[in-house]
Amino acid sequence: MDEKLSKVDPKLLDLLVCPLTKGRLSYNRDRNELISESARLAYPIRDGVPIMLVSEARKIED
d(CA 44, CA 4): 11
* Domain extent at residue 53: 3-59
d(CA 55, CA 39): 13
CATH code of the domain in which 47 resides: 2.20.25.10
pTM assigned to the model? 0.82
Which amino acid is it at 56?
E
CA distances from 21 to 4, 13, 37 (A): 26, 16, 10
pLDDT per residue as tens digits for the range 4-53: 444 567 788 889 999 999 999 999 989 999 999 999 999 999 988 899 99
DSSP 57: P
Q: Report the domain count for the chain.
A: 1
